[in-house]
Amino acid sequence: MEPCAECGAPMEPRSCDELFQTLLALDHARQAPWGPLHGVSVACFLLQHPSRLPADDGAMAWALLHAYLEGGLDDVNQLVGRARRGNSHRAQGRPAPAVRGAALPHRDAPHSRFSVTIHDVAVDGSFPSSEFTEGVRAWAAATVDAWK
Ligand SMILES: [Zn+2]
């Protein structure tokens, strides 16, 4: 079977889609480590499968990965909170997390192969908790690296 045309991962024994559904189910249980990393893991998946990017061309996903790599979940939560509040004056209470070098690549831009994909984070298909946090960090770094 051909590897995934977008992220390059093998489609066996599970396709990227099947793994993504498993990951979403874990996220939605809202338990650590999966729940808190939901936004980050979805951003990784979308940016490795650009045909699924939302109408903003992944601007939020891209900013979120940079926030995570530079400031961890605290910065991610600030970013998400600010986006939810929109232009509310309450959003001006804290300085924005720095999102350096976060210019969004064009979705059709050529990128190198991803050194870490959802298959690596899934390990045996179950996204084991003991390796998940490290796995997502490596996944996020590989995603950003490949698009540079
Ligand atoms: Zn894929």
Residue 6 CA to ligand 1 center (angstroms) comes to: 5
Whether residue 49 lies inside any domain: the answer is: yes
Domain count, the chain: 1
pLDDT of residue 126: 97
Residue 70 CA to ligand 1 center (angstroms) comes to: 25
Average pLDDT of the segment spanning 111-138: 95
Residue 12 CA to ligand 1 center (angstroms) comes to: 11
Report the distance separating Cα 117 and Cα 113, nearest Å: 10
Whether residue 61 lies inside any domain: the answer is: yes
Q: Is the pLDDT at 90 greater than 90, yes or no?
A: no
pLDDT of residue 88: 54
Residue 85 CA to ligand 1 center (angstroms) comes to: 32
Residue 52 CA to ligand 1 center (angstroms) comes to: 11
- Is this model's pTM higher than 0.75 or not? yes
pLDDT of residue 57: 77
Whether residue 41 lies inside any domain: the answer is: yes
Give the domain range for residue 26.
16-86+100-105+113-147
Burial 34-47 (b: 16+ CB within 10 A, else e): beebbbbbbbbbbb
